[in-house]
C-alpha cells in the first residue's frame, strides 16, 4: 500500500486578486503559520515513517521555497516549486485543483492521497492515524453547510484524479468544498469523522476556529 501526504502552500500572494480584496493574510503571517503548522506535522513523523508515508510539499506561487520553510522539512520530503496560480489567484479551490493537476504524475504513483494544508495547526494526529489504521475515503463535514472540509482529508488517488479530470480548474465556478462533496458522494463511498481536530485560520474574518 502506497500513501502520499500532500501539503500545498502559497507563499507569494501579493499580486493575487484575493490579496487585493483583503481575503488572504499577509505573506509574513502566512509564512509564520506555515512554519508552525509544518513543525507540528513533523512531531508525528515516526507515525508517518511507520506506515511508509511519502511526503510532498508544493508551492504554486514561487520557483523556490523560502529557506525558513526548508529548514523545518525532513530530508526525505519531496519539494515542488512552480508559478502555477492562474486560477488560484481568484478562487482558492481552483488553485488547489490547478496544482493537483500539475502534480498528477506524482499522485498517480500512490494508491492513497492525504491532503493537508499546513497553514492549519494540528491539535493531535487522530484524523490521520484513523486513516492509516484503516485506509478509505475519509472526510469531515463543515458545521455550517452540507459540504466537505478540504483542509484535511484522505481519499483514493484514482478517485482524486478522476475528480480533477471531471472538474478542471477553469470549470470550478463555486467552492471546491461543495463540488468535491457532490462528486465523491455520487461516485464512491466515504466515511466521516466528527472533527479534523485542528485550528483553522480564517483569512477573511481574521479569526481562529477549531474544526
The pLDDT tens digits of the residues spanning 107-162 come to: 999 999 999 999 999 999 999 999 999 999 999 998 777 899 999 999 999 999 99
pLDDT of residue 209: 60
Collapsed DSSP state (helix, strand, coil) of residue 5: strand
Confidence class for position 19, pLDDT limits 50, 70, 90: very low
pLDDT of residue 107: 98
**Is residue 58 predicted with pLDDT exceeding 90?**
yes
pLDDT of residue 208: 61
Over range 186-195, report the average pLDDT: 97
For domain 3-210, which CATH number applies: 3.30.450.20, 3.30.110.40, 3.40.1400.10, 3.90.550.10?
3.90.550.10
pLDDT of residue 12: 85
Closest C-alpha among 153, 161, 53 to residue 102: 161
* E strands, the chain, in order: 3-9, 53-59, 78-81, 112-116, 121-122, 138-139, 152-156, 191-192, 198-202, 207-210
pLDDT of residue 206: 55
Q: What pTM did the predictor assign?
A: 0.92
Distance, in Å, from the CA atom of 96 to the CA atom of 79, rounded to the nearest integer, reads 16
Alpha helices, DSSP H, located in 43-188? 45-50, 67-70, 92-102, 104-107, 126-133, 157-166, 176-187
**Is residue 200 predicted with pLDDT exceeding 60?**
yes
pLDDT of residue 1: 73
Question: Could you count the other beta carbons within 10 Å of the beta carbon of residue 15?
Answer: 10
Which of 14-23, 43-52, 133-142 shows the lowest mean pLDDT across its residues? 14-23
Q: Which residue has the cell 529557506?
A: 67
Q: Report the chain's mean pLDDT, rounded to a whole number.
A: 90
Amino acid at each position: 500500500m502506497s500513501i502520499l501526504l500532500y501539503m500545498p502552500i502559497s507563499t507569494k500572494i501579493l499580486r493575487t486578486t484575493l490579496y487585493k480584496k483583503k481575503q488572504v493574510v499577509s505573506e509574513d503571517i502566512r509564512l509564520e503559520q506555515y512554519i508552525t503548522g509544518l513543525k507540528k506535522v513533523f512531531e508525528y513523523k515516526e507515525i508517518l515513517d511507520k506506515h511508509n508515508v511519502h511526503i510532498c510539499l508544493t508551492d504554486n506561487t514561487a520557483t523556490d521555497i523560502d529557506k525558513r520553510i526548508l529548514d523545518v522539512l525532513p530530508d526525505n520530503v519531496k519539494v515542488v516549486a512552480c508559478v502555477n496560480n492562474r486560477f488560484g489567484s481568484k478562487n482558492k479551490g481552483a488553485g488547489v485543483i490547478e496544482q493537483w493537476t500539475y502534480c498528477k504524475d506524482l499522485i498517480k504513483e500512490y494508491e492513497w492521497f492525504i491532503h493537508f494544508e499546513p497553514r492549519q495547526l494540528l491539535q493531535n494526529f487522530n484524523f490521520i492515524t484513523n486513516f492509516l489504521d484503516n485506509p478509505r475515503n475519509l472526510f469531515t463535514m463543515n458545521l455550517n453547510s452540507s459540504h466537505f472540509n478540504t483542509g484535511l482529508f484522505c481519499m483514493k488517488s484514482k478517485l482524486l484524479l478522476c475528480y480533477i479530470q471531471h472538474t478542471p480548474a477553469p470549470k470550478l465556478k463555486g467552492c471546491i468544498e461543495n463540488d468535491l462533496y457532490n462528486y465523491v458522494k455520487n461516485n464512491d463511498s466515504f466515511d466521516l469523522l466528527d472533527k479534523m481536530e485542528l485550528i483553522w485560520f480564517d483569512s477573511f474574518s481574521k479569526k481562529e476556529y477549531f474544526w
